[in-house]
Amino acid sequence: MTLSEELTWRGLVNQTTFPDLRLLDKTKLTFYHGFDASADSQAVGNLAAMMLDRCFMRHGHNAIIVAGGATSLVGDPGGKDSERELQDESTINKNVLAAEKQLKKIFSDLKFTLVNNYSWTKDVTVLDFLREVGKHFNMTGLIQRDYLANRLGPDGSGISYAEFSYTVLQGYDYLHLFDRYNCTLQLGGSDQWGNCLSGVELIRKIRGAEVHVITQPLVVNKSTGKKFGKSEEGAVWLNPAKTSPTEFYQFWLNADDESVEDYLKIYTDCDKATIDKVIADHRKDPAKRLAQNLLARESTTIVHGKEEMVKALVMTKYLSGQVHLSSIKEDELKIMRGSIPSIKLKQAESLADALVRTGLASSKTEARQFLSVGAVYVNNEVAKKDELSETDFQNGRLLLRRGKVLKNVALVEK
């Protein structure tokens, strides 16, 4: 399958300046993709963009991945109804380092160049920037772009000069990368179309050269109509300290049947034959969730590595009750002890004592409050009393959970 065919099959193209995507199959080019650093972790929405990059890399195109140390200091107005709150330079620098660490892990098996746009903007003076870059942008064209027009219209919240200038900064990034690396393609999300065109126009005016843009659709959950993203409630992060590999794995395992085929195409490197087969098998028996299992395994491996994926698979198997704890193998038990709080129950200890010792409650008083409202589970069953009996243990072990979220779980052994 050629790159143009794969991009079309995976549904990764929204808009493009290419008259024909098959031009991508005829030569190897250098592309760039920028990543925002306004948060201390990238999220699954950003992961879709990284998977687009992986697709280009697998087909032999040269990748320049840009951490937005400069542009994040200004704030992207795209997709926002109101002004972003500016973050200080120290915060952005920390976010850039976090983003670079995640990007290196996602692309660890592929060749790419990682840069920070702060490095080529920090020494540019205001007057030089206005004269050499700003003079090439027509205000009439800028204010007609949808995301700016909406903010400037009668019902809009307005926009500061700083955010208004974001698109010019992004255009300058493209110019710098064109000059430095002969970069002739920018990738971005569909909400970045206007910003991407800024670079295309700037390079045409200053260098007399033709460069291109491809944007990809924003990923939307078909059953809810909501998009993935780090600004959305309940965001799923790539940082394991914010969303553990087990939580990440379970997120994909819980994908709805309506969206799972799209997610497999976007969030995994699986080829068409593999995805077609698992979807066909899934439709024969949706209860087995074969498609979701493949999605969870593949996506977790890309983000967290195979070792963490195996741990997440083991944890999910027992935490969800798919497999009885009494049948746990020694190697799996070792994984569990290393992944969640684990204690040896002392003689005459109550359930409240166990909750405190595992860190699921801060005190016995709080533990009893959790018990009184049915927020404590023993082996996925609501605990009815503040004591543990022999029947609660499965081959000398039980799983203790606070609340419905599988995150707050501990192993208790006799």
Please give, one letter per residue, the 3-state secondary structure of the chain: CCHHHHHHHHCCCCEECCCCHHHHHCCCCEEEEEECCCCCCCEHHHHHHHHHHHHHHHCCCEEEEEECCCHHHHCCCCCCCCCCCCCCHHHHHHHHHHHHHHHHHHCCCCCCEEEECHHHHCCCCHHHHHHHCHHHCCHHHHHCCHHHHHHHCCCCCCCCHHHHCHHHHHHHHHHHHHHHHCCCEEEEEHHHHHHHHHHHHHHHHHHCCCCEEEEECCCECCCCCCECCCCCCCCCECCCCCCCHHHHHHHHHCCCCCCHHHHHHHHCCCCHHHHHHHHHHHHHCHHHCHHHHHHHHHHHHHHHCHHHHHHHHHHHHHHCCCCCHHHCCHHHHHHHHHHCCEEECCCCCCHHHHHHHCCCCCCHHHHHHHHHCCCEEECCEECCCCCCCHHHCECCEEEEEECCCCCCEEEEEC
Give the mean model confidence (pLDDT) for residues 360-387: 93
**Lowest mean pLDDT across 30-39, 90-99, 221-230, 323-332:** 221-230
The pLDDT value given to residue 83 = 64
Residue 166 predicted with pLDDT over 90: no
Give the mean model confidence (pLDDT) for residues 378-391: 90
The pLDDT value given to residue 80 = 59
pTM score: 0.87
* 42 band by pLDDT with thresholds 50, 70 and 90: very high
* 230 band by pLDDT with thresholds 50, 70 and 90: very low
The pLDDT value given to residue 206 = 96
The pLDDT value given to residue 237 = 93
Please tell me which residue, 163 or 200, carries the higher pLDDT value: 200
pLDDT above 90 covers what percent of the chain? Answer: 70
The pLDDT value given to residue 350 = 93
Give the mean model confidence (pLDDT) for residues 198-212: 97
